[in-house]
Amino acid sequence: MSTQRSVLVTGGAAGIGLAIATGFAAQGHRVLLADISESVHAAAERLNTPNAPVHGHVTDVGDEAQLLALARRVQALFGGCDILVNCAGVSAKRNGQPIPPVEVRTADWQRVLGINLTAPFVLSRELIPGMRERRFGRIVNITSRAGRTFVAPAGIDYAASKAGLIGLTRHLAGTYAGDGITVNCVAPGRVETALSSLSSPEIIAAAAKAIPMGRLGTTEEIAACVLFLASEQASYVTGVCLDANGGVFMG
């Protein structure tokens, strides 16, 4: 590792977020994990080392006041944030099935967009000024194949939030490209996580069959994409949506 960076990962207690945090910690970076689950503290403790500290912070990213507190926490711990990974996300389901668009309640719509889209905006807004001062920043947003094309098992609220996240990514990338800041996103297809397991076994089996590679992805494979986009080697890459889906969508 050439330079130790300060990293904030939301949704970091499990799944893709934990795999991403594990990768950064292994590279010797300082990491703050944020998650709504109290288990984020145990996850941070497992990754923590004297030379590369990892901290946990319980945060509901659907609550703006808690997001602002999170931004202050990373500032207090590390003096700022060099790398922001917006991974926290939710998807509204009913008995493992997507809710038909005409039956989605406005409250559910607002909750999903608040967590999946508004939270990345708020954290980016709060942390970009410090990145501009340091002339270095990496923002990686975890979107979805459902934000790239029609995916029947995804709800309309989830699809809209993830498509919006791609638009947010491109706008930030274009705006701050001259400030040493890159903004990219990774769009996973089906990955073995707690969120994907909310779908019925029939949907999961059908999804695997439709993937050219014939299997679901792993959290480590998605983390590898994020680690590259956040690295020094990706300094000329910005505004990109990296599809990691085993070939099921080639946009």
SS3 228: helix
pLDDT attached to residue 197: 73
Annotated catalytic sites, by residue?
158
How far is the C-alpha of 135 from the C-alpha of 28, rounded, in Å? 21
Q: What is the CATH number of domain 6-244?
A: 3.40.50.720
pLDDT attached to residue 214: 92
Annotated domain spans of the chain = 6-244
DSSP symbols for 4-19: --EEEEETTTSHHHHH
Whether the Cβ atoms of residue 43 and residue 12 lie closer than 8 Å to each other: yes
How far is the C-alpha of 222 from the C-alpha of 84, rounded, in Å? 16
pLDDT attached to residue 200: 77
pLDDT attached to residue 194: 73
pLDDT (tens digit per residue) in 57-112 = 999 999 999 999 999 999 999 999 999 999 999 998 888 788 999 999 999 999 99
Residue 27, both tokens:
């590279």
Global confidence as pTM = 0.95
pLDDT attached to residue 78: 98
In 3D, which of 69, 79, 66 has the Cα closest to residue 4?
A: 79
HSE-up of residue 200 (Cα within 13 Å, Cβ side) = 10
How far is the C-alpha of 134 from the C-alpha of 68, rounded, in Å? 20
Strands 93-94 and 97-98, how do they pair? antiparallel
Whether the Cβ atoms of residue 120 and residue 141 lie closer than 8 Å to each other: yes
SS3 29: coil
- Parts of the chain with a pLDDT under 70: 1, 195-196
Residue 250, both tokens:
């080639």
How far is the C-alpha of 179 from the C-alpha of 136, rounded, in Å? 7
Q: How far is CA 237 from the centre of its chain?
A: 18
pLDDT attached to residue 195: 64
